[in-house]
Amino acid sequence: MLGIPLAVSDYGAVLDWMDATIAAGARAWVTAAAVNLVMCAQEDPEARAAVLGATLAVPDGQPLVWALRALGHKPATRIYGPDLMALACARAARTGTPMFLYGGRTREALELLERRLCERFPGLRVAGAYWPPFRELSTEEERAAIVQINSSGAAVVWVGTGQPKQEKWMARMRAQLSPPLLVGVGAAFDFHAGLVPQAPPWMQRAGLEWSYRLAREPRRLWRRYARYNPRFIAGFARQYVGHLRDRRR
């Protein structure tokens, strides 16, 4: 999609792949890519390099799924970051897979997330949590985070610092972190902590989640949607015309 490879898959297949990656002791990282990330990658070379370096990028936004299907990928389904995290936590609570939480709006928000996940998924093992400040981490702070994550024994690190910041972090830190799997899920931390309400299912299916989120956080999100939504429509239109032209040849 606009030069960004997106997986045509479903939740079950992605969760099975995650389990296999952990069992193999590989070092992989996943991003749940929204329209925002795909479009940011068109303008920011560092973001583009990070996304292209991901082991797996799944379509988090419904418009991306519609676009994939229009390009001939009929089996494409949405892999929504918050739902992927919830399903993985439910599975981890059964299997005992330990996880680490990296992100959150505040330290208190991260603690709330951990508590609510453990309440929702009895038996879930949260091996550790780290709240990074919004500024760039110093060398000492980054080293401390690496030590904390690597010594936790976690198999999965859930990263919720927002796109594309989390993708850049995962790309840069992947070689230094021992957990087999890093997964960037954006706003999932806020949703699961109960800090931000999720759009109703019908709005998600209709591709209107962006409008729901904009209505609740206009000052934070209006620039993103005003900039990237029209550009995505225009960019996809060009790609779709090229797709139709290729089919006729």
Report residue 245 as tokens.
Answer: 């032209």
CA dist 207 and 201 (Å) reads 10
Per-residue model confidence as pLDDT tens digits over 7-56: 999 999 999 999 999 999 999 999 999 999 999 999 999 999 999 999 99
Q: What is the pLDDT of residue 111?
A: 96
Q: What is the mean pLDDT of residues 216-242?
A: 87
- Examine the pLDDT at 235 and tell me if it is beyond 90: yes
Q: CA 96 → CA 13, 25, 84, 91, distances in Å?
A: 20, 16, 17, 8
Q: What is the pLDDT of residue 223?
A: 80
Q: What is the pLDDT of residue 155?
A: 98
- Give, rounded to a whole angstrom, the gap between the first and last alpha carbons of the chain: 21
Domain ranges of the chain: 11-248
DSSP for residue 106: S
CA dist 139 and 229 (Å) reads 36
CA dist 69 and 59 (Å) reads 12
Give the burial class of 14: count Cβ atoms within 10 A of its Cβ; 0-12 exposed, 13-18 middle, 19 or more buried. Answer: buried
Q: What is the pLDDT of residue 225?
A: 80
Per-residue model confidence as pLDDT tens digits over 85-113: 999 999 999 999 999 999 998 999 999 99
DSSP for residue 178: -
- CB-based contacts of 131, cutoff 8 Å, min separation 6: 103, 104, 106, 107, 109, 110
Q: What is the pLDDT of residue 127?
A: 97
Gyration radius (Cα) of the chain, Å: 18
**Closest by Cα among 81, 39, 73, 88 to 57:** 81
Q: At what angle do helices 35-43 and 218-248 cross, to 10 degrees?
A: 80
Per-residue model confidence as pLDDT tens digits over 141-175: 899 999 999 999 999 999 999 999 999 999 999 99
Per-residue model confidence as pLDDT tens digits over 48-79: 999 999 999 999 989 999 999 999 999 999 99
Q: What is the pLDDT of residue 49?
A: 97
Backbone CA torsion sign across 136, 139, 140, 145: positive
Predicted model pTM: 0.92
Backbone CA torsion sign across 91, 213, 209, 134: negative
Q: What is the mean pLDDT of residues 111-136?
A: 94
Q: What is the pLDDT of residue 245?
A: 85
Q: What is the pLDDT of residue 186?
A: 84
